[in-house]
Amino acid sequence: MWRKSVLIFLAIGFVFVMIGTTTAVEKGNERKGKYLFRKNCRSCHQEGKTAAPLNPNTKTQAQWERAFERFERFECADEWKKLSEPEQGDIFAYLYNHAFDSPSPATCE
Amino acid sequence: MQTRKIIIMSLLALFTCGAVFLSATASLADKEPAPGRTMAKQAGIMSGDWTTADHSEMEALKKSFQSGQEITDACLSCHSKADDQLFHTIHWSWLSPYDDGDVVGKAGYSVNTFCISTNKMNDQSCTSCHIGWEGKEDGVNCLKCHGQKDMDWAAQFKDYAFFQEMGDTEIVDEIQTDIQKAVVDVGMPTRQNCGSCHFNGGGGEGVKHGDLDASLINPKRNLDVHMGVDGADFSCTRCHTTQEHQVSGRVYSTPAVAERKSLVEDDLAPKISCESCHTATPHTEAKLNDHTDKVACQSCHIPEFARAHATQMSWDWSTAGKLKDGNPYQEKGEYGRPTYKSIKGDWTWEKNVTPEYFWYNGSIKAITAKDVIDPSGVVAVSEPVGSREDTESRISPFKLHRGKQPYDRVESRLITPLLSKQSGGFWKTFDWQDANRRGMELMDLPYSGKMGFVETSYVFPTTHMVAPIEDALSCNECHRRDTGRLASLGGFYMPGRDNFPLLDFAAWGAALAALAGVCLHALGRIVMSSRRNGRKKEE
């Protein structure tokens, strides 16, 4: 009985972990991400442009994760949808790896 | 009885005349714009698109560009004199063409209360605004000022080279297409072109100037009547006219204009002063025109600066270098702007700022890193030149930025620390001594190793963000006791602000005596008139 409970508990835990990993964005090529971010995001997310300035170090890693999970709520959701999943993953890799609480926080040069 | 009737009738007639006169002048003012506005509209009548070439049809531009210099070479194949002209401008040299040698200018020994110095352009992060592809090492990037597409060229070519090396042809083609599209999309500089540097001076948006920030890229008319997209929609070059790439309006030790001339006097005069288009007698009311020889137009027509975005008002370097858990940090305050950064110290920001007013003849006196300072008081790193006695001086509005920055306690000079991360300066090491030593070495100046912090000030003439006429200052903003805007300016008598008690007493006494005299005289006339009437009736 005890062993069965442990197994069920582990199985549930495993399912939750799997759900977590499937919803999180796959990290892609950071260097491509840097280019794609500049081309697709910074054109608006800059000082004096139509959206708030954004750099990798504007958010923490957890905040970037949340942003990529909930982008459909953003005003620019349509722009996001123009990007393929691998492209989104590339941008995510760049932003996540240089977030405010990352080992190498960065602004866009 | 008859006398009373006459007096009442006279008063009524006087009142009616007054009312008619006032309403007539008011309606006149409504219907006819001030002469200055009429003149300015005439001066601007030739506005419009004067382009006569389609650059997308130019053979020289139909090619693949591997570097920035290749773009410049293509431009120069037609505009053959342009780069030589540019090399003689301050936009390229970062040295004042009006001062001898290589002392005054960003590339010289000039200092300020912000990032202090570019260390003769050796601090890498400072040169991002330079109009060359790679600072002064490569050719002129014509597109920095003339490109109509907003593009980070350094990043674009860096990415191009990287993906070319990686063999990612899809991205390489994409970048090349973007480059080619941008190269043919050229024209006169827009507010975005000029603003990409001038709205971001001092290391960020709205840091340096109080009257130049990103809110002027697409401003409303109530922020700037000239540049407002719902107003005249001027680009910067409408006033900052150019000859051989020399852009008018630069102020160092020499004024922006040697002579204030209107286009009526000289149609080729630079349009940089208000008088150029509006003349020196722009107002309908003569009393207002009486001010223009002593009060700059900007003093009344720019009631406040930083009216859309906050501007930085002070920078205290003495608190820089604090760490949290061994890491640099920043704190944000009102307006969403940082109030503390480990790498930079404490900042204050303000919005809707009332300017400070000084006599100003158009010249700015500034010290350099070579000058010896007196650290016992506030060191004026820059200050306006002018006085009431100087006929060229006018009372003008300024942003006064206050600093606290490092100085050499032995040499009594301001220190020019090497700052940027790329150059391995203070922002990377948080080591003042190392940053100071290396920074002063680059300037060929001695450093004793003994650093202190001294309070400093820096001025910016306020001349943009001209408000609509209805927001111009009313008379009593200045002409009032104690709290007027010009309360701190001494050495002259200003009605409403100043008084001489004995003279006031004598004048009021004389006025009251005159009134009493008039009343007594009127009373005498009435009494005498009644007596005469009484005698006539008796007869």
pLDDT tens track for B161-188: 999 999 999 999 999 999 999 999 999 9
Q: Is residue B349 part of a domain?
A: yes
Q: Is residue B345 part of a domain?
A: yes
Residues in CB range of B194: below 8 A, 6 or more apart: B145, B235, B236, B237, B240
Nearest CA in chain B to A108: B155
Q: B456, B380 in Cβ contact below 8 A? A: yes
pLDDT at B257 (0 to 100): 73
Q: Is residue A21 part of a domain?
A: no
Of residues A32, A34, A48, nearest to B217 (C-beta): A48
pLDDT at A95 (0 to 100): 95
DSSP, residue by residue, A22-40 = HHSPPP--HHHHHHHHHHH
Q: Is residue A14 part of a domain?
A: no
pLDDT at B12 (0 to 100): 62
| Predicted confidence band of residue B254 (pLDDT cuts 50, 70, 90) | confident
Q: B139, B72 in Cβ contact below 8 A? A: yes
Q: Is residue B265 part of a domain?
A: no
Q: Is residue A6 part of a domain?
A: no
pTM assigned to the model: 0.83
Q: d(Cα B349, Cα B334) in Å, to the nearest integer?
A: 8
Residue B13 token pair: 């007639």
pLDDT at A20 (0 to 100): 46
Q: Is residue B121 part of a domain?
A: no
Q: Is residue B517 part of a domain?
A: no
pLDDT at A38 (0 to 100): 92
Q: What is the average pLDDT value for chain B, to the nearest integer?
A: 90
Q: d(Cα B14, Cα B12) in Å, to the nearest integer?
A: 5
Q: Is residue B27 part of a domain?
A: no
pLDDT per residue as tens digits for the range B459-513: 999 999 999 999 999 999 999 998 999 999 988 999 999 988 898 899 999 999 9
Q: Is residue A47 part of a domain?
A: yes
Q: d(Cα B471, Cα B223) in Å, to the nearest integer?
A: 10
**Which residue range(s) make up the domain with B406?**
301-477
pLDDT per residue as tens digits for the range B380-427: 999 999 999 999 999 999 999 999 999 999 999 999 999 998 889 999
CB within 8 Å: B214 and A47: yes
Is the pLDDT confidence value at A17 over 70? no
A29: phi > 0 → left, psi -120 to 50 → alpha, else beta; which? beta
In chain B, how many H helices and how many E strands?
15, 13
- Give B-chain residues touching A48 at CB under 8 angstroms: 192, 195, 199, 205, 214-215, 217
- Complex ipTM, two decimals? 0.73
Is the pLDDT confidence value at B13 over 70? no
**Which residue range(s) make up the domain with A38?**
26-97
Q: Is residue B110 part of a domain?
A: no
pLDDT per residue as tens digits for the range B120-150: 998 888 888 899 987 777 889 999 999 999 8
∠A23-A25-A28 over CA atoms, to 5°? 155
Q: Is residue B317 part of a domain?
A: yes
CB within 8 Å: A109 and B155: yes
Highest mean pLDDT among A44-53, B311-320, B524-533: B311-320
How many domains would you assign to chain A? 1
Q: Which residue has the higher pLDDT, A24 or B52?
A: B52
How many domains would you assign to chain B? 1
Query: How far lies B301's CA from each of B73, B224, B284, B355, B465, in Å?
Result: 45, 10, 15, 12, 9
Nearest CA in chain B to A101: B327
Is the pLDDT confidence value at B353 over 90? yes
